[in-house]
Chains A and B, each alone.
Chain A
Amino acid sequence: DTGVSQDPRHKITKRGQNVTFRCDPISEHNRLYWYRQTLGQGPEFLTYFQNEAQLEKSRLLSDRFSAERPKGSFSTLEIQRTEQGDSAMYLCASSQIVTGGSYEQYFGPGTRLTVT
């Protein structure tokens, strides 16, 4: 078990460009979550998947943001027409939901996005 991995770890982009981040969850974990964290704040929930189905999206997730988990394994988060306000750490987490089980989420190291 290698843990949750995210790629890239750092991304610098110019305003207006599109960026895509990848998250590889712990194998066999059926839930995958995306969070965003700005300086001095706790992580904010963006969206989550159970297998390939996107079950919930936060109102923070504007129409410039899209997330996919096409085969129920890795996930991508794309931001179109980036704005300076998108600068943040983007965190991915995964968990295994089983009946009567616990739901601890395991986080990746994050992707730090800087929009100039």
Chain B
Amino acid sequence: DAKTTQPPSMDCAEGRAANLPCNHSTISGNEYVYWYRQIHSQGPQYIIHGLKNNETNEMASLIITEDRKSSTLILPHATLRDTAVYYCIVYTDKLIFGTGTRLQVFP
């Protein structure tokens, strides 16, 4: 079973920041948090991952709380092409996907 909890859906205006929360209260000390997204009818796409520290790359930022029980994925300037299902995953040897958050970016 997935070790994460995410809201089923969120809306965001184009150009604004999209903040997607994730709870992973049972995460172990050496387990990473990974984020993927899946645009309709495509394979999942890797976004970012982290262990303890906040991370940033060209796609997004990942903020992990100090107790590591939750995290937030931030898309700083959402575009219509960011409309997708976003999955937060606690990584073991394999990816266990939950149902994710369906992000709808509107004009």
Contact = CB atoms under 8 A, between A and B. Distances in A.
B7 to A, nearest CB: 14
B55 to A, nearest CB: 11
Contacts of B25: none
A104 B44 CA distance: 11
Contact of A108 (B43, B49, B85, B100): B43
Interface size class of A (residues with CB under 8 A): 20 to 34
B13 interface: no
Contacts of B85: 42
Given A91-B43, A108-B43, A109-B43, A44 B97 contact: yes
Interface in A22-66: 33, 35, 40-45, 48, 55-56
Interface residues of B, number: 20
Given A48-B93, A56-B93, A56-B94, A41 B46 contact: no
B94 A102 contact: no
A105 interface: yes
Interface string B17-36: 00000000000000010100
B40 to A, nearest CB: 11
Interface of A: 4, 33, 35, 40-45, 48, 55-56, 91, 93, 102-110
